[in-house]
Each structure stands twice: as C-alpha cells, then as structure tokens.
Amino acid sequence: MSREALLLSDADVRRCLSEPEIVQLVHEVFQAWGEGQFVMPAKVSTDLRRFGLDSAFSAMPGYLAGRKVAGLKLAAGCAHNPAHGLPYIVATIILSDPLTGITLAVLDGCYISGVRTGAQAAWAARYTANPDCRIAAIIGAGTQSRMALRALASFFPFEEARVADISPAAQDRFQAEMEKDLGLRIVKTANCQEAVEGADIVCCATPDRGPVVMDSWVKKGATAIALGSYQEYEDEFILRANKVVVDSWAQCSHRGALKNVVESGRFGDKDLYAEMGELACGKKPGRHAPDERILVVPIGLALHDLAAAGLAYCRALEKGLGVRFKFGE
C-alpha cells in the first residue's frame, strides 16, 4: 500500500469549504458530542513562557464516528506574531485513516480554526441567548472576533455591535471590514465597560491573561461567551452566573475561563449546568428564564476541525487540488 498523502494550503482549503458549511458542521459535531459518537481526549498544551518565548502549543486529537474522520490539530498561540504580520493563532491539521493510521492529508488549519471558533460562539448564543438580542459586545478585534460576529449576525437581528480593543487601529479595521461585510452598525468603544454594559451578548476573544469584563457590567438576561485560552471574566461573574455551560468539561476544568475558580475549589462539575452537546441534542434547555445570566465557555473541540478538514479533503480529491507526496511504500 502506498503511503501517499495530500498537502492542502490555506487557498486550497478555502476553495473547498464555505463559512456557512463550517457553521453547520459545528452544530452537527455538538450533536454528535451529545450523543457520545466520538473519541476526544482533552487537549494537551505546551507553554513556553518559562523559556522567554510568549508562545503556547496545543495538541488536539480526536475521532468523529459519524464522519469516520480521525486525526490531530496542532494549534499555536504566539503573542509576537501580529507585530510580524502573522496571525496570533496558527494551526495545522493532520488527517489519518482510522483503520490503518496512515496519514491521508496535512492541511493549513488557520481558516478552519478561525471559522469554527466563530461558529462556536454563534451556536453558544443560539442555544442560550434570548431570541430578541439587539446589541452585541465584542471584546478583542482580531480574526476570531470577526468570525464570531459574522456567525452571530447570521442568527440574530442585531441593531449594533460594539467593539473594544487596546489597539485603536485594530478597532478601525474591524469597524471598516464588518460594516462593509455585514451592513451592521459597528460602534468603537473607549473601553470594555462601555462595550459590555447593556449588551445582550458579550463575546470575548482575546489573549489577555487577566479579567477584562467585570460582573457588575453584565446585565440580567445576557449571554456571555469566553473564547480565550485564559480568564476574561472576573471570578464574581463566573460564580454568580445563573448557568455555566462548556463545550468539554474535561478541557474547561483545567484551562480557559474556569481554570482559576476550579483550581481554587470554588467551582466543580456539580456547579456546571451542561455541556453544549446536551443543548444541541435537546437533552437540556439552554435558558429557563429571560433574566438569567449565562456564561458559555467553548474553548475548542478538535472534532470541529477534523470534521471540516475531512470534508475539505474529500472536496480537494474531487477538484484535483493540493500537492501529493509519499512518506514511503
């Protein structure tokens, strides 16, 4: 048997997958999660800060039974990248034959990673937010925030979206691009508080390692989403939220928004309301009352990336895209 694999560039992947397709795949994967049709160990991270490198790598393996895709996503968050014109998060996806273990494809994962992260935010809101949401607060003006707002705007009839970022230039770019792409009023705010107060949906997608959203800012009835790898909401909000929902408790219990309150013994699995898969399958309702404040922490399932990569691989074979190479015979 020839050990031939397909190498797919960012351009190849974009030619094979549309954003709406990835958004729908994310929902399909959440349903599969709720039905137990997967294998996915918690992601493993390698933090390089103790060696003076502001970078962290995450290895994310998984198998999705319904689509028969297996593989690994390697994602890196590198703080110095934006200064060099590179995205903060870069990713590579490896697809393997689930029967033989042979590598089928190696894909640039940046596009898939960005779109699926935004889609996670949109489904988090779709499952838990009040249906009449009009104002979105976006904390962080990077790629993930763009993808999140694009997906959110496909679900909710927003009147405006507010954006906060430490970089005024980043806010300017975000405003210009999103107003052009979505036809939505984008309001640049002076700080996070101005963005969050009165917002129906709050979405944080930043590399910050300390809280940027305070409990008193988040109104009754709001859905708050934490996409970052570190804590973006202060402890008081996490502990006082009416419901806390995660994508994977195994992952969220040791990284991201909940890490500190879990390690300090103030939050445990008994305090968790649900995983998103349970909401996607209808096993639990997302919201019981319109005034509930709900925190959703979807820090990322490898299954989303692998499902999208599997579809991209099949499309690439049909279109004759990519570069073939052999590991051996």
Annotated catalytic residues are 73
Backbone angles phi, psi at 301, to 5 degrees: -105, 130
Q: Give CA 43 to chain center in angstroms.
A: 14
Residues near 180 by beta carbon (within 8 Å), at least 6 away in sequence: none
And the tokens for 232?
């973006």
Cα 320 to Cα 4, 7, 109, 266, 324: the distances in Å are 15, 12, 19, 54, 10
Q: Which amino acid is at 98?
A: P
Would you state the torsion angle of the CA atoms of residues 83, 165, 115, 235, taken in this order, to the nearest 10 degrees?
120
| Residues forming beta bridges with residue 210, ordered by sequence position | none
Between the two ends of the chain, the Cα-to-Cα distance in Å is 6
Q: How far apart are CA 116 and CA 148, in angstroms?
A: 9
SS3 for 311?
Answer: helix
Look up tokens 């390690």; give the residue: 263
- The DSSP annotation for 217-239 comes to GSPTT-EEEE-SSS--B-HHHHH
Structure token pair of residue 316: 């690439």
Residue 286 DSSP code? S
C-alpha distances in Å from residue 240, one per residue of 150, 165, 174, 201, 233: 29, 26, 32, 17, 11
DSSP code, position 213: B
